Amino acid sequence: MKKGLSVLSVLILTCLLMAFVVLPTVAQAAGQRPISEKWTFEVVPYLWFMSLNGTMGVKGQTADIDASFGDIWEVTDFAGAIAGTARKDRWLISGNLLYAKLGDSQDLPVPATLDWTFKETIFEFFGGYRPAFLGPVELLAGGRYWNFDMDLDFKPGPSVGGSKNWVDPLVGFLIPYDLTDKWTADLRATIGGFGVASDLTWEIGAAVGYNFKDWLNVALACNHLDVDYENDGFLADFALSGAAVAVKFKF
Cα–Cα dist 186/43, whole Å: 15
Q: Of 4-13, 95-104, 152-161, 202-211, which gets the smallest average pLDDT?
A: 4-13
Average confidence (pLDDT) over 41-51: 90
Sort 130 into a burial class: Cβ within 10 Å, 0-12 / 13-18 / 19+.
buried
Question: What is residue 12's predicted lDDT score, i.e. its pLDDT?
Answer: 54
- For 71-87, the pLDDT digits (tens) are 666 676 667 899 999 99
Q: Region 211-217: what's the mean pLDDT?
A: 96
> Quick one: 7-250 is in which CATH superfamily?
OPCA outer membrane adhesin/invasin (2.40.128.100)
pLDDT in tens, 115-137: 888 899 999 999 999 998 888 88
Q: Which residues contact 149 (CB under 8 A, 6 or more apart)?
A: 117, 118, 119, 120, 161, 162, 163
Domain boundaries, the chain: 7-250
Could you tell me which residues are beta bridge partners of residue 247? 218
pTM value is 0.85
Question: What separation in angstroms does the CA of 91 have from each of 18, 96, 234?
Answer: 28, 17, 38
Residue 5: predicted pLDDT: 47
